[in-house]
Structure 1
Amino acid sequence: MKGQTYVILTIIFIIVISVFAVLNVGAVEVNYVFWRGSSPLIFVILFSVLLGGILTTVVGSKKYFRLKRENKQLREQVNHKELDELNGLNKDEDESNK
């Protein structure tokens, strides 16, 4: 259900941004870092949304991969401890059988 909610909210967000961009088609003066130019406002809006999405993805993926690596390390620790416990139980059984 959580995944469906995100998909629905994403579709609504895309529709709102699209309507907003289409309503603003006039040319505007844009001051880029090293030059100035005139661009249709729709391109400025869509480029800004695209750049924001890319930056959010990059930052989010950094955190995702860090958490994935930490999860893998913790799983290895749990597996190692379980193996140690099993080996300890096997040793106890061997000693009691002698």
Structure 2
Amino acid sequence: MKFQWTLLLSFFFALIVAIFAVINVDPVTVNYLFGTAEWPLILVILGSVLMGGIIVGSVGLFRLFVAQRKVKSLTRENEKLHEELAKDKNTNLTNETLNKDDEPGNTEETGK
């Protein structure tokens, strides 16, 4: 459901940007470090939105990658701890069994 809302909001935002860009078609001067150029404002607006989307998407993908690595690391650590816990339980059960066999009133040893 969250994905659907995100998709609807992104379509709504794209529609607003498209309408805003189409209304502003006048040529504007764009200053670069090495010179200037005349561009229609619609291209400047759409280019800026596209670059902003690419930057935000890249940051989001990077954060997702870092989170996935952390989850993978924590999953490995959790599995190791479960294995150690299982070993400790087996060791404790074996020790308890050995201790019961060594008790003085054990009927198996006396034959009664």
Same fold? TM cut 0.5? yes
Q: CA deviation at 1:92?
A: 2.2
Aligned to 2:40: 40
Question: Residue 95 of structure 1 corresponds to which residue in structure 2?
Answer: 95
- The correspondence of residues 1-98 of structure 1 with structure 2, limited to 5 A, is 1-98=1-98
Q: Which runs of 5+ in 1 are unaligned?
A: none
Q: Deviations over 1:61-93 (max 9, x none)?
A: 222211111111111111110111011112223
The normalised TM-score by structure 1 is 0.91
Greater Rg, structure 1 or structure 2? 2
Task: Name the CA distance, whole Å, in 1 between partners of 2:26 and 2:47.
Answer: 15
Structure 2 regions of 5+ residues with no counterpart? Answer: 99-112
Please name the residue that 2:107 is paired with. none
Percent identity between the aligned chains?
Answer: 35
Q: CA RMSD in A?
A: 1.2
1:20-69 Cα offsets, whole Å, 9 max, x none, are 11111111111122210000111000000010011111222222211111
